[in-house]
Amino acid sequence: MSQRRPGVGDTSSPRGESTNAVHGGERERRESDALTTPIYQTSTYTFASSEEVCAYQEGRVARDEYGRYGNPTWRAVERKLAALEGSEDAVLFASGMCAATTTFLALLPQGAHLVVTSDCYRRTRQFIRQYLGKLGVETTVIEPADPQKLAAALRPETRLFFTESPTNPYLRVIDVAEAARVCHARGVHVIIDSTFASPINQRALEHGADLVIHSATKYLGGHNDLMAGAAVGPRPLVTALREAVGVLGGILDPHAAYLLLRGLKTLALRMERHNQNGLAVARWLEAHPKVRRVWYPGLASHPDHEVAARTLRGFGGVVTFELASDFDGTCRFVDALRIPYIGPSLGGVESLVEMPATMSYWDLSRDERYALGITDSLVRLSLGVEDEADLLADLERALAAA
């Protein structure tokens, strides 16, 4: 009988990122010895006898019962994500938004207090404001990357500190270890939305975070062809979320789970190119006379560059910048680009570009947008894996039209 090679099938040995991305969570023997994990397209799992049902209910056998509670294709993805984040467990959701909302509903009791940062996904803030308030949850919003403001915001009833890192759209980077030190001293859990980093650029759990969530729609899937979310962390917290998603029902379709599993296998390879393109484009834009300012944590000019350089292993493919132009000029620039598609989202192999003023914040007045830092000339560019020279040439042509 053949033996497993050390470092591939043997999980006791440390493994590299690409090895984990390819093999993590998938080395157990499968039916028919298929190399790839199948799509388990079923809503129900049958039992051979009443004794088997009782054994399952008593926890003597591990298996699935009903499609809202588990699926073998999900399980393979969850094991792979746990391996990539260096954690005990992971749970999938129908979207990144579902991951965030389910986490809040599962971990915040009535009357609890939540601390969040100001620069984060608008729909997350909307859920907190419109729905958590109805449950008696109070929220304090603080500026990112300020441990003193975080400490001042904590109350006896505070249960969670939630933030993206890097944030959207200004890519603020949190010192996770310091945030964890401040929060844990007061019995508060730290939850990091690591969508803009991926497990390749940041493993927040190693820095003290209690839970990491992802919009797997982005870098994890990597091909702009699925919607999914995930939460990764210690088994007790993940189990609470798994039980909540079984009740709330925000489950992932098996086909989407299969696409996510396939996308994850190239995550480390893709992130290397995203990181390269992001840094090259950010440096080039910062030197261009038609660009007023660039926000990218890999640049020394970014307010959190020191923290980012110390805690991140790469700075990602998203570059936010402001043109030295007005609304119409910025529209001309975006329309003149030929490689990026105009659209929301990020993290896929294709580059995407958007003006937040016309995409995510269209329904707000100009004054409301500007209060949030969303100016008429702000652009968010999510770089894919195209060739650097082609991206720079395209930007040069488009800037001439601004």
What angle, 0 to 180 degrees and rounded to 10, lies between the N-to-C axes of helices 388-399 and 267-286? 40
- DSSP assignment of 37-64 equals PP----SB---SSHHHHHHHHTTSS---
Check residue 325 and report its DSSP letter: S
CATH of domain 17-264: 3.40.640.10
Between vectors from CA 268 to CA 266 and to CA 274, what angle results, nearest 5°? 100
Q: How far lies 75's CA from each of 39, 202, 246, 258, in Å?
A: 11, 23, 14, 11
Instruction: Render pLDDT for 41-88 as a digit per residue (tens, 0 to 9).
Output: 999 999 999 999 999 999 999 899 999 999 999 999 999 999 999 999
Helix (H) or strand (E) holding 269: helix 267-286
pLDDT at 1: 31
Q: Are 119 and 144 in contact (CB under 8 A)?
A: yes
Check residue 133 and report its DSSP letter: G
Give 125 or 349, the one with higher predicted confidence: 349
Instruction: Render pLDDT for 234-273 as a digit per residue (tens, 0 to 9).
Output: 999 999 999 999 999 999 999 999 999 999 999 999 999 9
Q: State how beta strands 291-295 and 318-323 pair.
A: antiparallel
Q: Are 52 and 297 in contact (CB under 8 A)?
A: no
SS3 at position 158: strand
- Give the C-alpha separation, 30 to 207, whole Å: 35
Q: Phi/psi at 274 (nearest 5 deg)? A: -55, -45
Which superfamily does CATH assign the domain made up of 267-399 to? Aspartate Aminotransferase, domain 1 (3.90.1150.10)
What length does the chain have?
402
Q: Phi/psi at 356 (nearest 5 deg)? A: -55, -30
pLDDT at 30: 62
Instruction: Render pLDDT for 262-312 as a digit per residue (tens, 0 to 9).
Output: 999 999 999 999 999 999 999 999 999 999 999 999 999 999 999 999 999
Cα end-to-end distance, the chain, whole Å: 66
Check residue 385 and report its DSSP letter: S
**Which ranges in 287-381 belong to alpha helices (H)?**
305-311, 327-336, 366-371
Domain boundaries, the chain: 17-264, 267-399
CA 183 to chain centre: 22
Radius of gyration of the chain (CA): 22
Those residues with Cβ within 8 angstroms of residue 181's Cβ, 6 or more apart along the chain or in another chain: 208
CB atoms inside a 10 Å sphere around CB 155: 13
Q: How far lies 286's CA from each of 50, 196, 292, 323, in Å?
A: 68, 21, 8, 10
pLDDT at 119: 86
pLDDT at 396: 98
- Give the C-alpha separation, 140 to 114, whole Å: 6
pLDDT above 70 coverage of the chain, percent: 96
**Could you tell me the pLDDT band of residue 318, with boundaries at 50, 70 and 90?**
very high
Q: Which of 257, 251, 227, 252 is nearest to 80 (CA)?
A: 257
pLDDT at 89: 97
**Could you tell me the pLDDT band of residue 114, with boundaries at 50, 70 and 90?**
very high
What angle, 0 to 180 degrees and rounded to 10, lies between the N-to-C axes of helices 254-264 and 72-85? 30
Residue whose tokens read 């499968």 = 30
pLDDT at 29: 59
Over residues 351-368, the mean pLDDT reads: 87
Q: Is the pLDDT of residue 326 over 90?
A: yes
Those residues with Cβ within 8 angstroms of residue 53's Cβ, 6 or more apart along the chain or in another chain: 47
Positions annotated as catalytic residues are: 68, 121, 193, 218
